[in-house]
Amino acid sequence: MQEITIEMLPQLFESVAAVMAENSESLCEMDAQMGDGDLGLTMKKGFGALPDLLRESDEPDLGKRIAKAGLKMSSVVPSTMGTLMASGLMAAGKSLTGKTAIGPEELAQYLVAFAEGIQKRGKCQPGDRTVLDAIAPAAQAADEAAKQPGASLSSVAQAALQGAVQGVEATRIMTPKFGKAAVFAARAQEMVDQGAVAGQLMILGYANYICK
C-alpha cells in the first residue's frame, strides 16, 4: 500500500475498531485494577463508531473529514479517554487539511499531531503514565522513519508500532498522576498502563491495515 485515500478511511478505522473489539475484555480487566473498568468498552464503542461517521460525511477534504469524525466521536464516548482520543483525532485531522492522501510523511505528521492533541487536551507530559506514553514514542519513531531514504507507508507504520510497544513497556516504572490511577499508584508498580495499551492497540490497528 502506497497511500491511504479519503475513500479508504472507513476501512482504516475498521481495522482499529476490530483490534479494540478483540481486546475490549482485557482492557476492561486492566482498567478495573486502576480505574473504572470500562476502558475496553469505551474504546470499542468509540472506534467502532468512526467507520460509519466517516462514511456518512460529505466533507471532501481528507483532513477535515477525520477532524469532523473525531468531533462526533467525542459525543459518542464522552469519557476522559474518549475525549483524549477524540482530541487526538481532531488535531491529527487538522494537520492534514488540504491533503489528498496519507503517505509516509503524512502518516508521521498525523501521529505527531495526534500526540500533540492529547498532550494539549489532557495537560499531560510524556512520563506521566497515560495514553501519551504510547502515542508520543510512536509518533517520534514514525517521524524518524519517514525521513529515511525510501521510506514507505509500511515502514513508517511498523516503526510507529515498535515505538508504541516500547512506550507501553516503559510505563512499568512510571507513577500515575491522574484520575483514579493516581489513588492506586502503589498497584501500578511493574504493571503497564492500561491507557498506553489502548494507544498501542490503535497503532496496531493502523499497522494491520497498512501492512496487510
Per-residue model confidence as pLDDT tens digits over 40-96:
999 999 999 999 999 999 999 999 999 999 999 999 999 999 999 999 999 999 999
Q: pLDDT band at residue 178, thresholds of 50, 70 and 90?
A: low
Model-level pTM?
Answer: 0.94
Question: What proportion of the chain, given as a percentage, has pLDDT over 90?
Answer: 87
- Answer yes or no: is pLDDT of 190 > 90: no
Fold for domain 4-210?
1.25.40
Task: Return the pLDDT at 191.
Answer: 87
Please state the domain extents for the chain.
4-210
Question: Residues 109, 140: contact at Cβ < 8 Å?
Answer: no
Per-residue model confidence as pLDDT tens digits over 19-55:
999 999 999 999 888 778 899 999 999 999 999 999 9
Task: Return the pLDDT at 179.
Answer: 62
Residue type at 121 in one-letter notation = R
